[in-house]
Structure 1
Amino acid sequence: MSNDDKKETDDLFKEDLGEQQNDKVELKREVTLLGGISVIVGSMIGSGIFISPVGVLKNVGSIGVSLVVWLCCGIIATMGSLTYAELGTMIPKSGAEYPYLLEAFGPIPAFLFVWTSSIVLKPSAVGIIGLVFGEYLIRPFFSDCDEVPVTAIKMTGACCICLVTFINCHSIKIAQKLQIVFTVAKLGALGIIIIAGMYALGAGFTDNLQNSFKMEFELTTVGTALYQGLWAFDGWNQLNYITEELQNPYVNLPRAIMIGIPFVTAVYILTNMAYYAALVMPELLGSRAVAVTFGTKLLGVMGLIIPIGVAISTFGGVNGYTITAPRIIYTAARNGHTPDLLAMVSVKRLTPTPAILFNSFVAILLTLPNDFDSLVNYFSFAMWMFHGSSAAACLYLRWKRPDAPRPYKVPIFVPVLVVIFAIFLVVYPIVSKPAFEYLYAALFIACGLLFYFPLIHYKIKVPFSGPVTCFLQKVLMVVPTQEKQS
């Protein structure tokens, strides 16, 4: 459609809905400081802390070193988030990496991020957490079986994603309140684990921690251990995806980051100490659901609390990602980098309904053929390419635009270290253990250029895209929105 035809269609559609043509349809700033902290904490504390401890320990072979790895992951996440805080207050737009890469390096890197994150990275994160939700929720119903049926896990995970999608399409305010409630609930579950672990320490279960650095230590697999740990910390940048819906972002964005991430780091280390105090090495290394093994051994009949707590935690994780991830493709669509429909919001609900539905649809598709390990490897490898690029964007903008307003300014060594860590995390798996996933990730990212040049650069129109967009716009009752002014 031409711009004039598109404007005419939008105006007519507003009239059909009884809207005034001079009404301003835009996303509202409804996310408070508490809501922002809940988005960060609730997104980070999803499935990782209930699964990744085993992966970290298997790779380093030492409990003491594994705790150091967890601390390092917290430091890396903190430095990354502080770098994003500078970028987010300098460029106060939703979408995180997308507007930062667009501002610093131009449309091609920004488009490649949108292409990769919207098709694989963010939907796969939702899919992974949804699978863990399904496994933990239905595990008590299959207590007499050695394994929980895979089909049941995937169906339950898909139902979780669908329910969260409905909530987020209905209201960001309800989704925010739900995130706060589930964040408190998941912290309660982890609090039970920590308290039980401290009780075990007081009762004399200290063998693992006393000899924690005397075990065999595998230096060559530290990078893989960092991957597993950083998966549990993933979500540290989630608030940057909804900057335009955050109240007073210049103050609340860095403040939420500085409160949320150190808090999660402390919770993770204490939770790991609780696992190590209560479980012996064979139990730790032989358990995929380490939190359930912990609950069964220490809590007895009350151990059912743990799988319920994990299900609550992962549900909140799915909700957190569903709040934030669709804003990437929504922001890109406003710049013409994705279909026009994805830049539209519900006239009645003021939520980016098409972008939310697209993200959730892809997430459900990704849960069908894949398992946790392959998704984590793919997710971590590709995501850190863009984390490093965004930190490089921070450095580039410091040089290119030194006088630009920066309400929050991070010490220069922080983004430098983030770039170095990102390079290590991208190069290490290729050098240490080459695998098909990494080649596939690189090829997939490069394939985005096959869409960018004809559709974005040369603006070749896809046949029937105009009528299809108009039809879906009427079905979903959505219209284009204006960019939020800060």
Structure 2
Amino acid sequence: LTLEKGKTMHLLRAIGFFHVNMLLLGTIIGSGIFVSPKGVLKYSSLNIPVSLSIWAGCGLMAIMIALSLTELATTFPVSAASYYFLKRSLGPSAAFLSLWIKVFSHCLGLGTQTLLIASYLIQPFYPGCPPPELPIKCLALATLWSFGFLNARRMKAVAWLQSISTVIKMSVLCLISLTGIVLLVIGKKENVSRFENALDAELPSASQVVEAIIQGCFAYRGSLILANIAGDIKNPTKVIPKSVISCLSIIVVFYVLVNVSYLVVLTPKEITTSDSVAITWVNRAYPSMKWVISLGIPFSSLSSTACIILSASRIFYSASQEGQMPLIFSMLNDHHSPIVAVTQVVVLSTISIISSNLTSLIKYIGLINIFNEVLCMIALLKLRYQKPALPRPYKVCLPFIFGTLALSSFLILTPLIQSPNIENIYQVIFLFSGLLVYWLQAYLYQHSDNFKTITCYLQLLFNVSPSDKQDKDILAE
């Protein structure tokens, strides 16, 4: 790819307020609301009030975290704003640890998302029995690579696809929510009976509550996408805060209503034994619409895959510009897309699809994301103290920062204290192996000239050119 003299390569700020809202709504309303109800109810000991409270509490926690990261994204409106900010606040080691967490979180999330979509699409062809694992994985891989190709082409195409998909998702959630409200108002005995003595149900232990919260937080995990794609958003200092507050408030209300509707139509045991809660709900509530909803749910979730790839590739892009990843990841093609970063995300996600235990994947994703949020809150407080005069277009309330720190610490420490197991050791090893990888790659990068040769070959293969550094974008704004 050759450039005319005087021209530069950089990410285009091509996403306006409407598409930002559609991206945020569509990314959050993904596989989580169709998978997490099973885990939340299971770890709530089938206690309905506790389960619904956890859904509302997870929503409030997501709002606090998103607003805290909004301060970072508006202060430093660049790709992967939280990573960029951590490097300047806590140093390169903490930033690389955050990068390590985010890369695996996004790739595991992509594996979960595509496996769920594939299982929903194939399930109608195997009524009354679970579908084979091989066709599910093959369809998941085909979905993943298709949207990787779309991300390598045009950003606008991803935004429009997400807008159409979001309308479908909101329609499905409206149908489920309104059905539950109508059935409650009608007051049929079989629909209302399970709510009558709900307060007498067994209370879960503290460690079970933590597990339920982690499952619930998975359904809100897309709320951080705006901090990762801030470099693609028009006028990010005004658009991001408005979108976060409005979209997340709508989603919390919908999620609670959808879970009420699940419980109106299905018993708690039916929910916890179902691999596809929404499909089971449709079979009971609208048997004649089984095929429509069965296909509508996965098709509406397809675009979330494109957005997760978009978000993850921007993390690679930012880390490459900061010198903590190979330079090739920050090079752009003629569509202004970091195609090598997109390819790397797709390859890592392909590996994660090998493991198809969705509940376990959600658990690991939730825990490592919580640790990353703690790092961001500590960095935010440090920068507030060290640079109080730094221009901040949006400034989050301090109680939100301290509240996020307290809740995150509770979620991390409670399982370690109450019910420690071998999985906790694996999680700690995974987290701090990121530091070992950081020191190893820093040493190799300084003492090997082979990286330059490999970069040249890859640059020719993918037809990409170096991009402007993000600091220039901030100074320009």
Q: Which residue of 2 aligns with 1:468?
A: 454
TM-score (norm 2): 0.94
- Residue 178 (1) aligns with residue 188 (2): no
Equivalent of 2:170, from 163, 167, 187? Answer: 187
- Residue 232 (1) aligns with residue 229 (2): no
- Residue 124 (1) aligns with residue 108 (2): yes
Q: Which residue of 2 aligns with 1:80?
A: 65
- Residue 401 (1) aligns with residue 387 (2): yes
Equivalent of 2:248, from 250, 254, 261? Answer: 261
Q: 2: distance between equivalents of 1:284 and 1:369?
A: 23
Equivalent of 1:158, from 141, 144, 148? Answer: 141
Equivalent of 1:62, from 38, 44, 47? Answer: 47
Residue type matched to 2:19 in 1?
G
What are the ranges of 5 or more consecutive residues in structure 2 without an aligned counterpart?
none
Q: 2: distance between equivalents of 1:105 and 1:229?
A: 29
Equivalent of 1:243, from 223, 230, 235? Answer: 230
Deviates more, 1:450-459 or 1:474-483: 450-459
Identity of aligned residues (%): 28
- Residue 134 (1) aligns with residue 118 (2): yes
Deviates more, 1:307-316 or 1:432-441: 432-441
Q: Which residue of 2 aligns with 1:109?
A: 94
Q: Is the 8 A contact 1:179 1:316 kept in 2?
A: yes
Q: Is the 8 A contact 1:378 1:438 kept in 2?
A: no
Equivalent of 2:355, from 359, 369, 388? Answer: 369
| Secondary structure in 2 matching 1:31 | coil
Q: 1: distance between equivalents of 2:252 and 2:233?
A: 24
Q: CA RMSD in A?
A: 1.6
CA deviations on 1:170-210 (whole Å, 9 max, x unpaired) are 10111011111111111111122112222322332212233
| Secondary structure in 2 matching 1:478 | coil
- Runs of 4 or more off by more than 4 Å in structure 1? none
| Secondary structure in 2 matching 1:213 | helix
Q: Which residue of 1 aligns with 2:132?
A: 149
Deviates more, 1:355-364 or 1:208-217: 208-217
Q: 2: distance between equivalents of 1:48 and 1:173?
A: 25
Q: 1: distance between equivalents of 2:345 and 2:291?
A: 32
Q: Is the 8 A contact 2:73 2:82 kept in 1?
A: no
CA deviations on 1:224-259 (whole Å, 9 max, x unpaired) are 110110011111111110111101011001111011
Q: Is the 8 A contact 1:91 1:100 kept in 2?
A: yes
Q: Is the 8 A contact 1:132 1:314 kept in 2?
A: no
Q: 2: distance between equivalents of 1:100 and 1:307?
A: 42
Q: 1: distance between equivalents of 2:161 and 2:344?
A: 21
The structural deviation recorded for 1:306 is 2.5
Q: Is the 8 A contact 1:84 1:240 kept in 2?
A: yes
Q: 2: distance between equivalents of 1:53 and 1:151?
A: 26
Q: 2: distance between equivalents of 1:189 and 1:288?
A: 19
Residue type matched to 1:31 in 2?
I
Q: 1: distance between equivalents of 2:443 and 2:97?
A: 13
Q: Which residue of 2 aligns with 1:331?
A: 318
Q: Which residue of 2 aligns with 1:282?
A: 269
Q: Which residue of 2 aligns with 1:303?
A: 290
What are the ranges of 5 or more consecutive residues in structure 1 without an aligned counterpart?
1-12
Q: 1: distance between equivalents of 2:290 and 2:437?
A: 51
Q: Which residue of 1 aligns with 2:378?
A: 392
The structural deviation recorded for 1:457 is 6.2
Q: 2: distance between equivalents of 1:424 and 1:313?
A: 34
Q: Is the 8 A contact 1:47 1:313 kept in 2?
A: no
- Residue 340 (1) aligns with residue 323 (2): no
The structural deviation recorded for 1:165 is 0.7
Q: Which residue of 2 aligns with 1:5?
A: none
CA deviations on 1:78-125 (whole Å, 9 max, x unpaired) are 00011011111112221133112112101000011112322x111111
Q: Which residue of 2 aligns with 1:434?
A: 420
Equivalent of 1:456, from 442, 451, 457? Answer: 442
Deviates more, 1:329-338 or 1:278-287: 278-287
Q: Is the 8 A contact 1:88 1:243 kept in 2?
A: yes
Q: Which residue of 2 aligns with 1:8?
A: none
The structural deviation recorded for 1:449 is 2.5
TM-score (norm 1): 0.93
Q: 2: distance between equivalents of 1:96 and 1:237?
A: 10
Q: Is the 8 A contact 1:96 1:237 kept in 2?
A: no
The structural deviation recorded for 1:370 is 4.3
| Secondary structure in 2 matching 1:236 | helix
Q: Is the 8 A contact 1:65 1:213 kept in 2?
A: no
CA deviations on 1:410-451 (whole Å, 9 max, x unpaired) are 111110111111111222222333343332232122222333
Q: 2: distance between equivalents of 1:93 and 1:345?
A: 16
